[in-house]
Structure 1
Amino acid sequence: MVKQDRAARTRQSLIHAAAEVFAQEGFAPASLSTISRRAGVSNGALHFHFENKKALAQAVEDEAAKTVRRITDEGTDRGGCALQALVDTTHELMSGLADDIVIRAGFELGGDPARGAEPRLRREWQRWIEDMLRRAEAEGALAEGMSPHDASPAIVAVTVGLEVLGSKDRGWLSEETIAGFWDLMLPRLASRQKPVPVSSPPAGGPRRTVMPSAQATD
């Protein structure tokens, strides 16, 4: 059992070190020797756990995907208004991207042309947004004339854009930035009969309610 625990810790150290190196250097320039040094293990120990750099990158992406699914599953299971869940989960994901190097590297690796892989996490995020908008539509929470098909491209484009920009400047992932986006989006998105509260920044006092625009249904 002790040996298994040590092996599990070594594997996690390698995944975390690989995420740091991939995020800093990209997939192609990153070397396994740099990753093993960063993790504090030998090259032999690295190859015991991962056959090659491609397998290690896949492990980073898989680990990130588990965390992202936990975030979105918690958003789905929270209950209440689907639009509120969408807003809150956007805050949670952007916070994760700011604070967790594995999540950040997982997203970046999916879009790295050197790997030749599909942008898996971005696709999963897109599907989750579309699903929550369909739920909101079923709840009657979308503005008249607004459909999930209309709304999802804008939300996906902005949130994925923030993820890309945030890889270099964490300010793009701040609570203030996300709340500002929803302040602009929700008045057009939400039904006038169902105002949706938007999370304020942690140090910014109580939650604020964004009222749907009268123009949204005129």
Structure 2
Amino acid sequence: MTKQDRAVRTRRALIRSAAEQFEARGYVRASLAEISAGAGVSSGALHFHFANKAAVAEAVEHTAARALRRAAGQGRSGDGSALQRLVDVTHQVGRLLCADVVVRAGLRLNAEAVAGRVRDLRREWRECVHELLAEAERRGELAAGVPPHRSIAVVLAATTGIEVLARDDHGWLGRHSLTDLWHLLLPCMAAPHLAEALDPAGSGPRLVEPEPDVDVEPDAGVEPDAEVDADGPVGDASRADLALR
């Protein structure tokens, strides 16, 4: 394994461990000692990558933002009915939140406005909903008398509410919650000629494709205590992290 490979693996493990701590305890109560222990590395290895806890939180938010941006982008660029793509992308984001502690923690940190940062992780989602419903209106997919701005407000309120409720009960992220939501909304939103063709449960599985980590500098070197067994904490975190890369 090269020096850079070890640095990438350690950084991914630290981000995942930090996300687990931030989700469970919040930013203030999470400690760097617990984060480094969860990643299976020393505090020196943590500080090799991150100057302080705020920098770790920033990395968690950044990683979450990239995953959410990819999910929203897939909904915007797909084929077929704009309303069906909106349904599909809500299920996609729901699966992402259910599977990815980093995304969940990133949203929690963002809501807490940790360290005064101004990144808005929900902006991509708002823009995605806005664009898809505007497209649906242009294509005649919305029922008569349904103004897009009202539909946008309802969809955003409902999906954001599910995400907030899921902080205490991940069952809210299950497919049934979003399916029930669309069973109620689609008959009110969709044009009659389209309503029967739409699937509230989503038209098929669509996964966020993994992509390489781009946060590690090429000449990062070897951090203290970076080398750990591939079947230990870092190996597990690296494999799990593929879902969000």
- Matching of residues 95-134 of structure 1 within 5 Å: 95-118=95-118, 120-134=120-134
Contact 1:111 1:119 in 2 (8 A): no
Deviating more after overlay: 2-11 vs 127-136:
127-136
Q: 1:139 to 1:201 in 2, by over 3 A?
A: closer
Q: Which residue of 1 aligns with 2:39?
A: 39
Q: Which residue of 2 aligns with 1:27?
A: 27
Q: Give structure 1 regions of 4+ aligned residues with deviation exceeding 6 angstroms.
A: none
Which secondary structure state, in structure 1, belongs to the residue aligned with residue 28 of structure 2? coil
Contact 1:20 1:101 in 2 (8 A): yes
* CA–CA distance in structure 2, aligned partners of residues 142 and 115 of structure 1: 42
Q: Which residue of 1 aligns with 2:55?
A: 55
1:136 Cα deviation (Å)? 0.8
1:94 Cα deviation (Å)? 0.8
**TM-score of the superposed pair, with normalisation by structure 1:** 0.87
1:65-114 deviations in Å (ceiling 9; x for gaps) = 11111212222222111110000110111111111101111111110144
Q: Which residue of 2 aligns with 1:177?
A: 177
- 2:197 matches 1:199: no
- 2:97 matches 1:71: no
Q: Which has the higher contact order (CA 8 A, sep 6+)?
A: 2
Contact 1:176 1:201 in 2 (8 A): no
- 2:157 matches 1:157: yes
* CA–CA distance in structure 2, aligned partners of residues 167 and 90 of structure 1: 17
For structure 1, list consecutive stretches of 5 or more residues without a partner in the other structure.
Answer: 203-218
Contact 1:111 1:118 in 2 (8 A): no
- Matching of residues 85-104 of structure 1 within 5 Å: 85-104=85-104
Which secondary structure state, in structure 2, belongs to the residue aligned with residue 194 of structure 1? helix
**TM-score of the superposed pair, with normalisation by structure 2:** 0.78
- 2:5 matches 1:5: yes
* CA–CA distance in structure 2, aligned partners of residues 135 and 110 of structure 1: 29
1:151 Cα deviation (Å)? 0.8
* CA–CA distance in structure 1, aligned partners of residues 149 and 174 of structure 2: 27
* CA–CA distance in structure 1, aligned partners of residues 39 and 3 of structure 2: 18
Q: Percent identity?
A: 45
* CA–CA distance in structure 1, aligned partners of residues 62 and 71 of structure 2: 14
Q: 1:72 to 1:200 in 2, by over 3 A?
A: closer
1:105-125 deviations in Å (ceiling 9; x for gaps) = 111111014433346112221
Deviating more after overlay: 4-13 vs 105-114:
105-114
* CA–CA distance in structure 2, aligned partners of residues 134 and 140 of structure 1: 10
Amino acid at match of 2:191: S
* CA–CA distance in structure 2, aligned partners of residues 49 and 123 of structure 1: 28
Amino acid at match of 1:62: H
